[in-house]
């Protein structure tokens, strides 16, 4: 825990430039309390607001939150409907709330999966925050890492077909530059609460050298600033080598 560290130790804590969070465990949280899954999503959405503001405050440059995967559509219709309703509500609030925050909102995922009004709302939020100079908040919604890489591969294949690029000349950056995270640094730290030790299709390409912190003693709706600090402390103690020595 960061709490209880002396000043010297605190100075050794390095704040990751880019944090990814797989916001998992809403359903189990609700079940434990005898509530419908939707109640977990609602509390989870509020947690997301709180953690976003805190990350911005401590100097995180990029925060990517995984809110809905390309696979989550297979859930019961009423659950999907409720999540979309929450997302819409959040986007509407972000329009007024974020005018006071120096946060730029960027959307990761396939917008075509949404209704037209939601698509327009997303565009509006992106547009109205695009000149902010503080933290970039990436909201991954209808996002899948495989889907994202496939999209990039298709674009490159089209270019090759037109003769604009030679297959043998395709570089790693040709793929990176066609992802939703174009021009952004890769995530340094990826946090997953809820006790699941897997990636679930999150930032597959970008996480090649990310540090994972899986937390099995906390579900997302209970996650707070102290838990974020615990994860950052654990990250600070890792020795990142990127294949070197």
Applying CB under 6 A, which part among 17-25, 129-137, 209-217, 229-237 lies near ligand IPE?
17-25
Residue of minimal CB distance from ligand IPE?
27
Residue of minimal CB distance from Mg ion?
24
Sheet holding 62-69, edge to edge: 104-108, 136-143, 62-69, 18-22, 189-193, 211-215
Question: Does the active-site annotation cover 201?
Answer: no
Measured from the Cβ of residue 89, the count of other Cβ atoms closer than 10 Å reads 12
Applying CB under 6 A, which part among 5-13, 95-103, 196-204, 235-243 lies near ligand IPE?
196-204
| Nearer of residues 16 and 27 to ligand IPE, judged by Cβ | 27
- Contact between 223 and ligand IPE per CB under 6 A: no
Return the HEC string of the chain.
CCCCCCHHHHHCCCCCCEEEEECCCHHHHHHHCCCCHHHHHHHHHHHHHHHHHHHHHHCCCEEEEEEEECCHHHCCHHHHHHHHHHHHHHHHHHHHHCCCCCCEEEEECCHHHCCHHHHHHHHHHHHHHCCCCCCEEEEEEEECHHHHHHHHHHHHHHHHHHCCCCHHHCCHHHHHCCCCCCCCCCCCEEEEECCCCCCCCCCCCCCCCCEEEEECCCCHHHCCHHHHHHHHHHHHCCCCCCCCC
Q: Indicate which residue of 6, 7, 24, 142 is catalytic.
A: 24
| Nearer of residues 39 and 125 to Mg ion, judged by Cβ | 39
Give the residue, chosen from 18, 19, 20, 24, that forms a contact with ligand IPE under the rule CB under 6 A. Answer: 24
Contact by Cβ (8 Å): 95, 167: no
Size of the site for Mg ion (CB under 5 A): 1
Q: Taking CB within 5 to 8 Å according to partner kind, which of Mg ion, ligand IPE, none is near residue 200?
A: ligand IPE
Q: Which residue has the tokens 């495989």?
A: 146
18-57 footprint of Mg ion as x/- string (CB under 5 A): ------x---------------------------------
- Contact between 196 and ligand IPE per CB under 6 A: yes
Question: Does the active-site annotation cover 112?
Answer: no
156-195 footprint of ligand IPE as x/- string (CB under 6 A): --------------------------------------x-
| Nearer of residues 156 and 191 to ligand IPE, judged by Cβ | 191
Residue numbers at the binding site for Mg ion (CB under 5 A): 24
Positions annotated as catalytic residues are 24, 72
Residue numbers at the binding site for ligand IPE (CB under 6 A): 22-28, 66-69, 72, 83, 194, 196, 198, 200
């Amino acid at each position: 825990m960061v709490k209880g560290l002396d000043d010297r130790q605190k100075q050794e804590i390095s704040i990751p430039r880019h944090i990814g969070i797989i916001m998992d465990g809403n359903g189990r949280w609700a079940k434990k309390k005898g509530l419908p899954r939707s109640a977990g999503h609602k509390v989870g959405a509020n947690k997301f607001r709180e953690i976003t503001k805190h990350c911005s405050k401590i100097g995180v440059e990029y925060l990517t939150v995984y809110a809905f995967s390309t696979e989550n559509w297979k859930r019961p219709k009423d659950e999907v409907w409720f999540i979309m309703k929450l997302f819409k509500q959040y986007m509407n609030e972000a329009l007024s709330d974020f005018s006071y925050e120096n946060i730029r909102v960027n959307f990761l995922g396939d917008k075509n999966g949404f209704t037209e009004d939601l698509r327009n709302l997303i565009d509006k939020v992106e547009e109205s925050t695009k000149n902010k100079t503080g933290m970039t908040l990436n909201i991954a919604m209808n996002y899948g890492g495989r889907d994202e890489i496939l999209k990039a591969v298709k674009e490159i294949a089209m270019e090759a077909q037109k003769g604009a690029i030679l297959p043998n000349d395709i570089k790693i950056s040709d793929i990176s530059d066609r992802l939703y995270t174009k021009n952004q640094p890769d995530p340094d730290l990826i946090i997953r609460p809820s006790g699941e030790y897997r990636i679930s299709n999150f930032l597959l390409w970008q996480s090649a050298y990310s540090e994972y912190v899986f937390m099995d003693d906390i579900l997302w709706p209970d996650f707070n600033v102290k838990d974020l600090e615990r994860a950052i402390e654990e990250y600070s103690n890792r020795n990142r080598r990127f294949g070197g020595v």
